[in-house]
Structure 1
């Protein structure tokens, strides 16, 4: 989280808590909306309580963004807090399936014209993140979808997706990775190298998930 201390600690704590809470669901079923919200709130609360116990204030408070992708058979659960993103790539094209929790988007939702909202100096300031605030101020975006065709998911921090890097380069760097024999490790490294060249101002995290669809046989 830009400007805040302890981001690596906050992100590690969030992952640890979410994995712990997900154990009852491994390989069995997806948690529903209410349970996903509870899981994310548990992660937020653990970081928030550490911030409080260490008397951290302002930019000294630890925080992290979150994107979560959970798959069971052909069903997918998606959740996010902040401005890290999930993209979906398939034969139909590229689709951003999360919406950044930023000042500009909040203003647009309130009826402000997009050009006005995006021209503000704080347009891209986060309106939500895990850690700095208690659960009353955290409302994760949660959605469900079904995989009906070969699909690639990209989970990434803003260091990768800034400046429309994904939108401008997905056909070259992501579309070929839909193949069943695609080397995802090499693919994500090339994507990060590109982001370091173009958006080298920020830390970069990226994960690729390739989902292949097979017909069900009796």
Structure 2
């Protein structure tokens, strides 16, 4: 008989806490992740990885990578937002994020210039989604102005809206809003902070 997830969770936690071992908690977490996946109870899997631009939270649905979040966004707040906007059935599961983690490691090592990942873009809607869909057309090591991006998205007059779309891009780094700069060549604002944006641009320019 299969125990309900919360019953299994209570029993497992009591066992792990009684043992007082990190290893026991790790085994419990692995069982819960496997059980959630087997019973189709996991809608959002996430993990947190180190990077040259700080810790990144990666979250994916069965449809693809849905969120990349910088530490300055507050990872707890990001998870709460995902619970509200996608599903509360969220669990840390690094195995489900193995491919995005691998490709990001290659990108930061300078051996990958293009990401090849399924993406779930449900967090971007309307014109903002159109803008996000065109961001990957800006080549590695190149930059484009917000005006050029608005034109690329089919609305040359929507420069401010293009900027807002970049600021709210749910998949920074993977979907390269860091390659969009101001018309005067200055880097402009960035969700991960100006230092992170500068780091990414300098890394790509040096490749």
Output the TM-score relative to the length of structure 1: 0.27
Q: Which has the higher helix share?
A: 2
Give the TM-score normalised by structure 2: 0.28
Structure number with higher strand proportion: 1
Higher Cα Rg, which structure: 2
